[in-house]
Amino acid sequence: MHRAARIEDWVHERRESFARRRGHRPTVIPFAGYGSTGWVRILCRVLLAKPTKPGKAVRARRPRSDGRDAGIRGWRSFTSVPVKNVMVTIEIDGQTHLVRADRGGVVDTVVPVRLAPGWHTARLHAESSAVQDAPILVVAPAVRHGVISDVDDTVMVTTLPRPLLAAWNTFVLDEHARVPTPGMAVLLERLAAATPGSPVIYLSTGAWNVAPTLSRFLSRNLYPAGALLLTDWGPTHDRLFRSGKEHKRENLRRLAQEFPSIGWILIGDDGQHDETIYSEFQKEFPGSVAAVAIRQLSPSEAVLAGGRSQASVAGTADTPWVYGPDGSSIANQLAEHGLL
């Protein structure tokens, strides 16, 4: 194992031991999952949290003058203590499965189960924690279209590639101050409605720590419900940092293999590596790409993002590539190709 990973494990073990001595107990943070009629992908994370004492009232946060809750700073997402290698119980459709979380407390597992298409609920708990419900979308075999969308600078204006701005947006900024990209929520909602029961996947290089914040952002800004596929920022067994590009490539390949009959509409931006990754995916799985939509960053956003992608990709009659600065422009072009 990489030395940095061993150091990280040592730090987590000390933090977990200290937190347990202070009375913190495991709690499961459920995430939306997806599946087909014979299996489902379950996603969650196990953290240590301080239980509420019996009979003790929970103190409400101070209300803001504009009616919103008090600000929730991003750094709070990174102070939680993950529970390494804990056993998690999954209950779904009367079946019970035991799985083990990874060294970061994350569970990402496939459970065999026969379910009808539509939304279902998996019940999750670890040790003596409270049971949490995880929504699961089971995709019907007849569904032919789905949506895979990047997050940073696609559905949310973040300008993440610049390290100082990334730190500000991630650790300091009030989560209510994060700005949705104009027209993208309407675009994704229209795409989801165009094919009832179609899956919506949010594929990001962001850390699992920000998953609850990101889920609240998507819900608050009326994006369609869907699974979040995030990653860890820390060291792996063989390298200092995980590769965000490989995380996206691996999940795209996995989705193509899990749903070979679905043509995905891939949505990203021209400020990072989305064009290159989507082009490679299209060449490897040409039947799995229905269209590619790239949001063009404004000049100022492109500067903050470290420049524009140098990839040059031309669409085909069967697989159009469309470009636009916002959701409305992209929607109009997709409509011209009969996808809306």
Give the domain ranges of the chain. 3-138, 145-337
What is the per-residue pLDDT for 67?
36
Least confident among 63-72, 103-112, 169-178, 201-210: 63-72
Element of type H or E holding 329: helix 327-336
What is the per-residue pLDDT for 240?
46
Q: What's the CATH code, domain 145-337?
A: 3.40.50.1000
The pLDDT tens digits for 206-227 are: 888 888 888 988 999 999 999 9
CA distance 23 to 56: 15
- CB of 263 within 8 A of CB of 145? yes
The pLDDT tens digits for 267-317 are: 998 876 889 999 999 999 999 999 999 998 865 555 455 545 555 565 565
What is the per-residue pLDDT for 258?
97
Percent of the chain at pLDDT exceeding 70: 71
**How much is the pTM?**
0.83
Q: Residue 15 to residues 10, 82, 113, 126, 223: CA-CA distances in angstroms? A: 9, 9, 37, 19, 36
What is the per-residue pLDDT for 66?
38
The pLDDT tens digits for 231-275 are: 876 555 544 455 678 889 999 999 999 999 999 999 998 876 889
What is the per-residue pLDDT for 157?
81
- 119 pLDDT exceeds 80? yes
Contacts for 254-260 with beta carbons within 8 Å, 24 or more apart?
255/146, 255/148, 255/201, 255/288, 256/281, 256/284, 256/285, 256/288, 258/36, 258/41, 259/36, 259/139, 259/146, 259/199, 259/288, 260/287, 260/288
CA distance 202 to 204: 6
What is the per-residue pLDDT for 104?
84
The mean pLDDT of 69-89, rounded to a whole number, is: 66
Percent of the chain at pLDDT exceeding 90: 51
Q: How far apart are the first and last CA of the chain?
A: 48
Q: Is 246 left (phi over 0), alpha (psi -120 to 50) or beta?
A: alpha
What type of residue is 69?
D
Give me the phi and psi of 273, to 5 degrees please: -120, 15
What is the per-residue pLDDT for 73?
43
- 170 pLDDT exceeds 80? no
The pLDDT tens digits for 84-110 are: 889 999 999 999 999 999 888 899 999
The pLDDT tens digits for 122-164 are: 999 998 888 999 999 999 999 999 999 998 889 988 655 445 5
Assigned CATH class of 3-138:
mainly beta
